[in-house]
Structure 1
C-alpha cells in the first residue's frame, strides 16, 4: 500500500485538481454573471454622432428609438433588440454607418456616422436632392442646409427614393466636375455654382466676373481647367474682366471667347500658339 502511494505522481494530481477547481470556479462565476445580466437594466443611453454634417442629432435618434421600441432606459438588457435598432438606424438616409452595443454596466452606446454630401441638385422642375461621396441621392431637409456646390439648369434627372444611385450621364458628369473643383483650392474659391444650359453643356458660374464658362462634359477636366486658368492669367489682364460674355473650353485645346454684345468669336489660345495683343 505504501509502495502504491509512493508511486503516485502527486505533482500531477495537484495540478489536475487545481485545473478542475478552476473550471468549476469559472462556471460558477459565469452562472452568477449571467444571472446578474438577466436582471440588469439599461441605466443610460449615450449617442455619439460623427461627421461634419448636421442632418440629425441625438434628439432625433432618441425620438426614433422611443417611437419604435418605447423607452429603453429601465428595460432589462435581455429585452433590448440591439440588432433591430442598429438595422433601423442604418436605413436612415443621412446615416452611412451605425453600431449599437451594451456594456456590463447597463449603458447603451449608439455610434452614428453621417453621410457627407458634396452637391445639391435642383432639376429643371425644381426637384431638389443631394449627392453624397458615393454618388447616392440624399433627400433635402429644412433642418440643415450644408454648404456644398449647387447644380441647376436643364437637368432632367429627378428624385424618387433615398439612396438611389445617380442614373444619367449628365448628373454623373456634374458629380465629377464638382469633385474636381472641390479638390482644387483655386477653383473651389472661384466657382460658386455649376449650370446646365439648353444645349446640355455644363457651365461654371464664377465668383469674380460674369462670363459663362462653358466646359461641356466632364471629359478632359484637367486640360479644360488648365485652359481656363490660362484665360484668367494671360487674357483677362490684356482685355479686362468684362470684355467677353462667353468663354468656351469644351473643344480640345482651344479657348473660344465671345465678345460681349457681338457674335464675333476670337480663338484666343491653343497649345501651339501664343497670345498676341487680344486676338490671334
Structure 2
C-alpha cells in the first residue's frame, strides 16, 4: 500500500485538482453573472446626435421611444427590444444612421446621424421639400429651417413620401447645379437662389446685381460658370453691374447679353451722349 502511494505522481494530482476547482469556480461565477444579467435593469439612456442639421433633438428621440416602447429606465435589460428600437429610429426621415447598444452596467447608448440637406424646393403649386446629399426627398418642418439653396419657379415635381428619389430631369439638374455652386467659394457667395423660368431654363439669382443669369440645364457646368466668371471679371468692370438685363450662357461657348436701356459702349466714355440717348 505504501509502495502504491509512493508511486502516485502527486504533482499531477495537484494540477488536476486545481484544474477542476477552477472549472467549478468559473461555473459558479457564470451562474451568478447570468442571474445578475436577468435581474439587471436599465439605469440610464444616453442619446448622441451627429450632423450639422437640427431637425431632431434628444427630446424628440426620447419621446418617440417612450411612446413606442414605454419607459426604458428601470426596465430589465432582457426586456428591451434593441433591434426594434433601432429600426424605429432608422425610419425617421431625418435620420441617416442609427445604432442602439446596452452595456453590462445598464446604460443604453443611442447614436444617431442626421441627414444633410443641400436644397429646398418650392414647386409652382407651393409644395415644399428638401433634397439631401443622396438625392432623396426630406419633408420640411417649422421646427428647423436649414440655410440651403432655394429652388423656385416653374417646377412641377412635388412631394409624396419621405425619402422618395428625385424623378424628373429638371429637379435632378437643379440638384447638380446646387452642388456645383456649393463647392465653389465664389458662386456660393454670389448666388442666393436658383429659379426655373417659363422656358424651363434654370436661372441664377445673384447677390450683387439684378440681371437674369440663364444657364439652361446642368450640362457643361464648368464651361458655363467659366463664362459667367468672365462676365463678372472682364465685362462688369467696364459697363457697370446694372448695364445688362439678361446674361445667357446656355449655349455652348457663348455669352449673350441683353442691354438694359439704350446705350452704346461709346456712351461709357462720353457720359453726355448716354444722357442724350436715354432721353431719346
TM-score normalised by the chain length of structure 1: 0.89
CA distance in 1, matches of 2:234, 2:167: 39
Alpha-carbon spacing, 1:77–1:242, altered in 2? closer, same or farther (3 Å): same
CA distance in 1, matches of 2:152, 2:252: 25
Aligned to 1:179: 179
Aligned to 1:157: 157
CA distance in 2, matches of 1:124, 1:245: 24
What pairs up with 1:10-89 in 2 under 5 angstroms?
14-89=14-89
- Three-state SS of the structure 1 residue aligned to 2:193 is strand
Aligned to 2:240: 240
* 1:31 to partner: Cα distance: 1.6
* 1:103 to partner: Cα distance: 1.0
- Three-state SS of the structure 1 residue aligned to 2:208 is coil
Alpha-carbon spacing, 1:104–1:255, altered in 2? closer, same or farther (3 Å): same
- Three-state SS of the structure 2 residue aligned to 1:125 is coil
CA distance in 2, matches of 1:26, 1:5: 31
Aligned residues: 263
CA distance in 1, matches of 2:247, 2:7: 102
Name structure 2 gaps, 5 residues minimum: 265-280
Aligned to 1:208: 208
Q: Structure 1 or 2: larger helix share?
A: 2
Shifted more, 135-144 versus 40-49: the winner is 40-49
* 1:29 to partner: Cα distance: 1.7
* 1:216-268 residue CA offsets vs partner (Å, 9 max, x unmatched): 11111111111100000000011111110111111111111111147x9xxxx
* 1:143-173 residue CA offsets vs partner (Å, 9 max, x unmatched): 0000000000111110000000111111111
Larger gyration radius, structure 1 or structure 2:
2
TM-score normalised by the chain length of structure 2: 0.89
* 1:22 to partner: Cα distance: 3.3
CA distance in 2, matches of 1:202, 1:3: 105
* 1:89-121 residue CA offsets vs partner (Å, 9 max, x unmatched): 000000001111111111111111110000000
CA distance in 1, matches of 2:4, 2:205: 100
- Three-state SS of the structure 2 residue aligned to 1:223 is helix
